Structures are given as structure tokens and as C-alpha cells.
Amino acid sequence: MQRKLHPLEGIVAVFALFFVLALTIGFAQAGEAKVHKTVYLRSSSALVLDADTGEIVIDKNADAVTPIASITKLMTAMVILDRGLDLDQRIVLSREDADSLKGTRSRLRAGNVLTRGELLLLGLMASENRAAAALGRTYPGGLEPFVAAMNAKAAALDMRDSRFVDPTGLSPANVSSARDLVKLVRAAHEYSVIREFSTKDRATVRVSERGRPLAYHNTNGLVRAHHWEVGLSKTGYISEAGRCLVMRVRLASKDLIVVLLDSWGRQSRIGDANRIKKWVETNASAGSSS
């Protein structure tokens, strides 16, 4: 014969059930608020740093020394600006400015005339190699003292893993580490010209009196994305370096320096940047709700 439950036993059972449900919901919410410790990146080397506090947010092989391709042009720009050269001075492009190392294409031709400021703009925004080469060639004393100034600047910034041999980044002998490039981006961000030129969406320049204006766009499509707030940007690519990207961005109410090196796949560096954005914002949201 089945025993009837005492009224008090029924009440205890109900409270026990509610207690179990409350614990289950609590654990589920805690799991949702848990901060994810890792993020999958296709870049071989990466570093994300809080620009204000110096806190490392993401570190993946940050000390690996690797070719940096056109990230080099940030150093090129700083050397030009440090010397205080006239950005309005008109410069005639030379055959020497053509890429004899990688054979990259350019719409700029020998005999075209641009101001030093226009060359700097095209180098930073559109990663124009002949523009960067012309900047180095026309530096006081020529290319040799220009490269010496690049390495002296790197030493002044305590970039111990870095070495520069040309102003374009076409040579794989231009090398650095993600940890060093954080220092480079931090220093470059202090120059208003570099901030403006490297994040400009597009620009048009006239290279001859009779020729049509040439339209250029930024090699980093994220500067055009409404959900990105990019304060400095530079892309890079040669086969030895893979796809590279450095930025200073505003994410989750923080100013972050992002360095992505040796990323394989045409869109992989942009994919990594978006994964970092989602990861940072998700963790910020989880942290504020926990």
C-alpha cells in the first residue's frame, strides 16, 4: 500500500525543486558570462595591446621575427616627417623608383610629378611602392642615409627585433616582430599626418598637366566599414611575409593596437581582425554582466 505524503513533505519537495532549478539557471548564466580565453587566428603572429594601459589582450608568437612587407612604410613616413621636409615640394618620378625586385605594378610612371605630400599619401593609403621609393630616393643624401635614418629611428624606439633595408618593404630583409610593431604603431599614431593619410578612404592625384587624374583607395577595407573606428592603418604583402595588417582601433570603449603578421589567404587578415573585434566585444559584454 502506497504511503501518502505528509503536507510538510510536499512543501519541502516543492522548495527543493525550486532550489535545483535556481542552481541550474545560475550555472547557465555563469557559463554565458564566462570570458573566453582564446580566439582562433589564421595569422602566424599576432599581438593586441591596450594602447592606454599597455595590457596585452592577445599574444600569439609575438616575438617571432618575420618580414613585414609594406608595414615598412610607416617607418618611411616617420623618417620623412622627422626631417621636416617640405611636403609641397614637387618631385619627378624616376626609373629608379620602379620595382625591380618583385615586379609589382604601378600606374605611376617615370616623369610623373607629384608633391612629397601626395607621395606620402599614396604610400600610406594605397601602399604605392613607387611613391615610397621616390620618398627614399629624394631624401637629403639619397637612399643610403634614408635607410640609416630608418634603423636609427627603430633603435630610438627600442625595436630590437627590427631591421630595414629599403623604404617600400618589398625586400624580405625588412623584418620585425609583432612586439616591435606595437611600438612602431604607437609612435606613428603621434603624427597627425600619418593618422589622416593612413585612414583616408580614397584620393585622386594628378600626375601630369594633360593626363587624367588617378583615383586610389585604401588597401584596408575596414576604414570604410561603419562598424569599425580605425585611428591608424597599414597593410602589407609579399610572398615571404604573407598578409600583414597593423591598426590602432577603438573597440569596446578601449583604444587597442592590433598587429597581424603572416596571415595566409587573401581575406584572412581581415577575417582575423573581425574575429578579434567580436572576441573583444563579447568578453567586454560578458565581463560587465558578470
198 is catalytic: no
d(CA 286, CA 290): 6
**Cα-flanking dihedrals φ and ψ of residue 203, to 5°?**
-160, 155
**Beta carbons within 8 Å of 35's beta carbon, 6+ residues apart:** 283, 286, 287, 290
Rounded to the nearest 5 percent, the helix, strand and coil shares of the chain are: 40, 20, 35
Report the length, in residues, of the chain: 290
Q: Which of 43, 45, 70, 263 is catalytic?
A: 70
Concerning whether 34 is annotated as a catalytic residue, the answer is no
Whole-number Å distance between alpha carbons of 7 and 21: 22
Residue 202 makes CB contacts below 8 A (sequence gap 6+) with 125, 215, 216, 217, 218
* Catalytic hit among 43, 45, 127, 263: 127
Reply yes or no on whether 171 is catalytic. no
User: Which residue among 43, 45, 60, 73 is the active-site one?
Assistant: 73
- Sequence letter at residue 184: L
Separation of alpha carbons 165 and 283, rounded Å: 40
User: Looking at the annotation, which residues are catalytic?
Assistant: 70, 73, 127
